[in-house]
Every structure is written in structure tokens, then in C-alpha cells.
């Protein structure tokens, strides 16, 4: 889909979709629980559908009714074969869940998913004598992960720690996971809160976490998504006036940091714990005198190489940005406008943000990629008074 976003001042209220991070965790925990669970407030996206489909492949009975998801736990023998779509969370949560069930898993993905880092799990499997093979877009793993002591090395994402926490938390006996330091550490705290909602215990010590106790079916309300809300909050402050509804100020989501960052008026964003804020912060910097993104190396391993993409996109539409070592510098100045091609949901949202404050507007090719996390994004943007025009839509 090709869409042109015209310049304009976004004004009004918007309710972002549910927290994708929380929904992933809730579905997996519910699928490993004893008894039925009901998850309220779930907005389906391609990533959440991937998690639902994987859990179904593992034997879970999952029913979708509006924004309600009813989950009955999986009972599966034999090989689990499923696609994780483009969802890194799904892939990294599924593998330990499969191992904790003691079955074989054969997982595939789309886009760049199967090229994203998985070394922590590969080394874990090799250390414990489990099968781990990854080739030609297929990841096959087989083993029997019992309660015990485990160590994760080379942790490039908190998703590895969270995946192990959820899998081992489903077992009655206590396990210890040693992981040292993890980027995006706030999301490990979110995982702990979801695990506790399902009745398991979690205890943190320096560089490690204790989990266990097993899960009981329960009812969970999935909160709004601060990662998506960050675009609206930054856009509203830079270009107009937007009120975000449905976001929990006491949330454990790491990207709630955007509120603090905007209020402080900081012009430096450290991407170590908040990589998904980088596109919104980059666009924001164009209209607020500039911004510097630090520790951007890990942006290369997202749905696209965002470290490269942010710089290229800004320069392509007449702004000015450059990368120097592990930093990206965005210089202030409204972009002229133009045309960009995207295949990454957050980069599409960044382009829309820039278009609102541009001189001529921006044509965004591949705009349908927002369906990965936020299918209603374009509708919500238009509801804020921004003119959008679909000029070429493929069936």
C-alpha cells in the first residue's frame, strides 16, 4: 500500500492498541497454565496473531471474541511446527516453552526474523546437550528442560531472559537463571509481573532471577501500549496537541520512559533500554532543535536495520542526520518531503510523523507494514485531522 501523508497539525485524542509486549507474555503464560484463562483488552496485530498461532500449534485451545482471548492450556506430544511471522518476541518465547514441554520444535519466520540474534539459546542448548539447528530459515530444537540452574551468555535482548523466565516459571520446582546484565531490562520486570499474575513466584538477585511454582488459569487485563503511544506523545508535543488514552502511568513497560524524556526536554536518548523509542525520538528531534541517539548498534537487529534506516530516511526527505560510531545525530530543521519505502512498522510511523511537519508531505510505500503492531495506525492518524491519501493499494 502506498499512502501520502500531508502536512498538518495533529490534534485530538487517540487510544493506542494494547501492549504488544504484555499480550505476548500473557498468551504464553495462559497456554502453560492449569485451567482456563481470559485475557481482556487484546487488540490483534500480526505479531500477536503469530503468538496465538504458535501456542495453538503447541496444543492450546484459543478463542478470540472481540478484544477477549480465552485460552485453555496446551497438551502436545510430537513435533511442534509453526511460523513466528516477523515477531521476535514470539520466536524467543516459543523456543524455551517448547523445551520446557519436552517436545521437538520446528519454527520458521518471515522477513528478517530468522536472521535476528539467537546465540544465547544456541549456546544454552549446546551446553545442556539439546538439539539446536538453524538453517534455510528453519530453527529446529529438541530437549527436555527441567527445573534447575541455567546461564544465558551474550544476552543481546531481554527477550531471552523473559522467555526462560516464562518457561521455567511454568514448572513447579524452583529454577535459577543467571544472565548478568541485559539491555531493555525494564521488560524483564514486566515479565515478572505477568508471571506473578498467573500465580508463580519471582525473585531477583544481582545478575540472576529465581522462578517457579507453576501457573494457574486467571483473568488478566492487558494494558495500553506505551511503545505505540510514544509516537503520539512526541508528535503532539512537537507539532500539535494529542491526548493519549488507555495508558497506565504505573506500567512496567520500559517505553513509558518517553513521558519522562519529553517532560525533561532532553536532547539525548540512550537506546540501550529503549531501542523502540529511537524512530519517534529521531522524528521529534527534527522539529525541536535536534537530538542525539546513543548506543544505536542494537537497532541494526530489529525488523530492519533501523540505525541505517533512520539516517537514510531523514536525509532522503530533506532533513539532516548522520551516524558517528555508535551514535546518530539528528539536526533540527523541518524536512522538505518526498518519498520513502518501508518494510518496518516503526519506520513507517516515523515517516508519518515527519510528514506531518514537512513542507510538502511524504509518500510512504509499503505503508501496510504497520499491521505488524498497529493495524489502525493510519485511521487514527486521519482522525487527528491529518490528510492521508491512498494512491496505490495492492489486493
The dihedral sign for the CA sequence 26, 49, 272, 113: positive
Query: Residue 259 and residue 249: Cα distance in Å, rounded?
Result: 9
| C-beta separation of 191 from 162 below 8 A | yes
Give the pLDDT confidence score for residue 76 in this predicted structure.
Answer: 64
DSSP assignment letter at 147: S
Print pLDDT tens along the chain (395 aa).
999 999 999 999 999 999 999 999 999 999 999 999 999 999 999 999 999 999 999 999 999 999 999 999 977 678 999 999 999 999 999 999 999 999 999 999 999 999 999 999 999 999 999 999 999 899 999 999 999 999 998 888 999 999 999 999 999 999 999 998 888 888 999 999 999 999 999 999 988 999 999 999 999 999 999 999 999 999 999 999 999 999 999 999 999 999 999 999 989 999 998 999 999 999 999 999 999 999 999 898 888 899 999 999 999 999 999 999 999 999 999 999 999 999 999 999 999 999 999 999 999 999 999 999 999 999 999 999 999 999 865 43
Question: Which residues lie closer than 8 Å to 260 by C-beta, 6 or more apart?
Answer: none
> Domains along the chain?
2-17+224-392 (3.65.10.10), 20-221 (3.65.10.10)
Q: Name the active-site residue from 276, 305, 316, 326.
A: 276
* φ, ψ for residue 274, nearest 5 deg: -135, 55
Give the pLDDT confidence score for residue 395 in this predicted structure.
Answer: 36
Give the pLDDT confidence score for residue 75 in this predicted structure.
Answer: 74
Give the pLDDT confidence score for residue 175 in this predicted structure.
Answer: 98
Query: Residue 29 and residue 170: Cα distance in Å, rounded?
Result: 7
Distances (CA, A) of 223 to 10, 43, 151, 159: 24, 10, 31, 19
In the numeric block, which cell numbers belong to residue 326? Answer: 555508535
**Three-state SS annotation for 53-78:** HHHHHCCCEEEEECCEEEEECCCCCC
| 276 is a catalytic site residue | yes
DSSP assignment letter at 216: B
Count other Cβ atoms within 10 Å, centred on residue 66: 9
CA 120: distance to chain centroid?
19
Give the pLDDT confidence score for residue 325 in this predicted structure.
Answer: 95
Total residues belonging to the chain:
395
Q: Is 374 helix (H, G, I), strand (E, B) or coil?
A: coil
Q: In 267-295, which positions are buried (b, 16+ CB within 10 angstroms) versus exposed (e)?
A: bebbbbbbbbbbbbbbbbbbbbebbbbeb
| C-beta separation of 239 from 358 below 8 A | no
Question: Which residues lie closer than 8 Å to 74 by C-beta, 6 or more apart?
Answer: 31, 32, 55, 58, 59, 60, 61, 101
Question: Which residues lie closer than 8 Å to 180 by C-beta, 6 or more apart?
Answer: 155, 207
In the numeric block, which cell numbers belong to residue 389? Answer: 491519501
- Which residues face 141 on adjacent strands? 105, 132
Give the pLDDT confidence score for residue 392 in this predicted structure.
Answer: 60
Listing DSSP states for 258-309 in one string gives: HHHHHHHT-SEEE-SS-GGGHHHHHHHHHTTTEEEEES-GGGGGSSS-HHHH
Question: Which residues lie closer than 8 Å to 25 by C-beta, 6 or more apart?
Answer: 93, 162, 166, 190, 191, 194, 195
Residue in the structure block whose three cell numbers are 524536512: 335
Query: Residue 164 and residue 234: Cα distance in Å, rounded?
Result: 34
| C-beta separation of 302 from 184 below 8 A | no
Amino acid at each position: 500500500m502506498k499512502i501520502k501523508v500531508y502536512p498538518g497539525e495533529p490534534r485530538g485524542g487517540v487510544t493506542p492498541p494494547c501492549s504488544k509486549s504484555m499480550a505476548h507474555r500473557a498468551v504464553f503464560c495462559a497456554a502453560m497454565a492449569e485451567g482456563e484463562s481470559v485475557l481482556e483488552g487484546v487488540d490483534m496485530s500480526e505479531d500477536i496473531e503469530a503468538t496465538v498461532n504458535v501456542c495453538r500449534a503447541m496444543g492450546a485451545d484459543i478463542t478470540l471474541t472481540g478484544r477477549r482471548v480465552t485460552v485453555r492450556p496446551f497438551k502436545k506430544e510430537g513435533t511442534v511446527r509453526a511460523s513466528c511471522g516477523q515477531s521476535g518476541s514470539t520466536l524467543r518465547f516459543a523456543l524455551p516453552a517448547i523445551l520446557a514441554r519436552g517436545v521437538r520444535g520446528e519454527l520458521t519466520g518471515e522477513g528478517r526474523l530468522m536472521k535476528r540474534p539467537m546465540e544465547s539459546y544456541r549456546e544454552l542448548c549446546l551446553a545442556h546437550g539439546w538439539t539446536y539447528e538453524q538453517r534455510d530459515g528453519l530453527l529446529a530444537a529438541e530437549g527436555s528442560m527441567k527445573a534447575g540452574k541455567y546461564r544465558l551468555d551474550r544476552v543481546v535482548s531481554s527477550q531471552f531472559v523473559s522467555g526462560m523466565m516464562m518457561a521455567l516459571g511454568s514448572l513447579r520446582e524452583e529454577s535459577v537463571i543467571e544472565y548478568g546484565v541485559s539491555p531493555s531490562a525494564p521488560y524483564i520486570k514486566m515479565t515478572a509481573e505477568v508471571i506473578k499474575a498467573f500465580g508463580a513466584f519471582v525473585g531477583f538477585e544481582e545478575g540472576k532471577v529465581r522462578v517457579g511454582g507453576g501457573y494457574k488459569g486467571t483473568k488478566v487485563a492487558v494494558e495500553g501500549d506505551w511503545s505505540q503511544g510514544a509516537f503520539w506523545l512526541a508528535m503532539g508535543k512537537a507539532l500539535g496537541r494529542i491526548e493519549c488514552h488507555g495508558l497506565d502511568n504505573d506500567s512496567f513497560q520500559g517505553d513509558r520512559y518517553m513521558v519522562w524524556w519529553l517532560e525533561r526536554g532532553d536532547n539525548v536518548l540512550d537506546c540501550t533500554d529503549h531501542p523502540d523509542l529511537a524512530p519517534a525520538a529521531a522524528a521529534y528531534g527534527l522539529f525541536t532543535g535536534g537530538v542525539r541517539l546513543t548506543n544505536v548498534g542494537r537497532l541494526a537487529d530489529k525488523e530492519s536495520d533501523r540505525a541505517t534506516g533512520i539516517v537514510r530516511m531523514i536525509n532522503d526527505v530533506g532533513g539532516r542526520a548522520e551516524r558517528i560510531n555508535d551514535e546518530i545525530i539528528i539536526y533540527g530543521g523541518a524536512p522538505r518531503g518526498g518519498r520513502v519505502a518501508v518494510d518496518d512498522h516503526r519506520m513507517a510511523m516515523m515517516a508519518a510523523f515527519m510528514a506531518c511537519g514537512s513542507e510538502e508531505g511524504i509518500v510512504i510505500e509499503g505503508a501496510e507494514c504497520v499491521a505488524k503492531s498497529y493495524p489502525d495506525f493510519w485511521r487514527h492518524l486521519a482522525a487527528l485531522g491529518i490528510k492521508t491519501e491512498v494512491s496505490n493499494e495492492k489486493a
